[in-house]
Amino acid sequence: MISLRRRFHTFLDALSTAVLPAYLPKPETGFGKTYVKTNGECKMQMNCDSALLARQSIVDAMRSFEEKGFNHGSSGNISVREGGHIWVTPTGATSTMDPQDMSLVSLEGEHLAGKIPSSEWLIHTEIMRAHPEAGAVVHSHADACVALSCLRKPLPPFHYMIASFGGSEVPCASYRVFGSDALAYEVVRAMGHHRACLMASHGMVVWGRDLAHARLLAEKLETLARQYILACQIGTPALLSDVELTEVRERYGFYGSQPMPR
């Protein structure tokens, strides 16, 4: 007689190679796999450890931003690239969400698995498509960035760290209603070659090599926005010239790679 233990493991083996209907939820114990949808069906293709790490990193970042006051309630969203797909926060996401709540979306915009994605998922996929080197995208409603975005003007080069975003300013995308295709396309247009942009009367968005880099840039942008507001309360901030910004960018290229002079 076949033991119950053996029957159970036979069942698990069958499950690990099964093709499941698209409407069935994927198991969180994927035995080294996770499900993605292909031709209307779900097949296990991606490494579960990698997927779990990506989803957990998003949860950790959302909780950190909530603690720092960058987001409140369900505002803001984050994505991480994994191959030709992205893990993105689900619609209505809060800091209490779990890794299994994440949504898997292809770069072509197909919802593959998980909960319904954030209403602004298209911002994430369009940025990833426009910037193949982007590994993560962070969108936040951080206070200082929201305040500046309401002026509907770029953040000028009042501080040398503006150069770390890839240009001589942080541009501001024109206003479009939240969650719309028009907003996603306008963000990508305004962002251009930069790593960040403000979103008029809305907030800000940044992309980084990975989520750690994107989080760093998001926090840096919020700090610079707050400092610019403080400087404007005193007077009119002096701006760096193109020559000075070029020097900064060159300096950034060597930063941390050269020994200290004797």
**Residues classed as catalytic:** 120
DSSP string covering 171-182: -EEPP--TT-HH
Q: In what order do the strands lie in the sheet containing 111-114?
A: 111-114, 103-106, 85-88, 77-82, 136-140, 203-208, 196-199, 172-173
Neighbours of 50 (CB within 10 A): 12
**Residues contacting 251, CB < 8 A, separation 6+:** none
Tokens of 227: 């400092």
On the CB side of 211, CA atoms within 13 Å amount to 21
Q: How far apart are CA 35 and CA 43, in angstroms?
A: 5
**Residues contacting 193, CB < 8 A, separation 6+:** 166, 167
